[in-house]
Amino acid sequence: MKITETKIPGLFIIQPGIYEDSRGYFYESYNERLFRDHGLDFRFVQDNESRSGRDVIRGLHYQLHPYAQTKLLRVLEGVVFDVAVDMRLNSPAYGSWTGIEVSAANRLQVLVPKGCAHGFRVISEYATVFYKCDEFYYPEFERGVHFADESLAIDWGTEPGKAVVSEKDSKAPGFADADKNFYFGEI
């Protein structure tokens, strides 16, 4: 398993070891001991899965502290462009974003730390996304950032008018107006 940190502290790209032969493939998508050996010590409590069609953008979502979530994401079917935005006040990467193509074929995983807004755009005809969370979902603590906020300048690879977005996500505030109660190093 190869674990690489991105420009956003605590945001990791995980490349599992894949064992393929004539029967197919096998890999460990999660191993608590290996993660802990890399300093990634989480207790995941909830698994989520979504299936969406081409150009659907889900996000950018997060939960406020004390119910912020670390997410470990992978794609079971199709291809997505996965994005995380650092919302942690006093973070060296505050307000910046990282995007990576994650697919069933490349089998990459993304570990999104607490205090980052997260979303993805479906690139393929359909995509099934699976992610583990280290905190339960609390709707009253859920927040969002508008996916097309000009200050973030995220290149989703599609025109905002072509994106398929939920009503809730289309009404999310911009980054400057979004609720933030995260401090880098404190959550």
Among residues 25, 27, 38, 61, which one is catalytic? 61
Is residue 131 part of the annotated active site? The answer reads yes
Is residue 183 part of the annotated active site? The answer reads no
Of 88, 122, 89, the C-alpha closest to 104 is 122
According to the 3-state scheme, what is the secondary structure of the chain? CEEEECCCCCCEEEECCCEEECCEEECCCCCHHHHHHCCCCCCCCEEEEEEEECCEEEEEEEECCCCCCCEEEEEEECEEEEEEEECCECCCCCCCEEEEEEECCCCCEEEECCCEEEEEEECCCEEEEEEEECCCCCHHHEEECCCCCCCCCCCCCCCHHHCECCHHHHCCCCHHHCCCCCECCCC
Per the DSSP assignment, residues forming a β-bridge with 73 are 110, 131
Among residues 19, 118, 126, 131, which one is catalytic? 131
Catalytic residue set: 61, 131
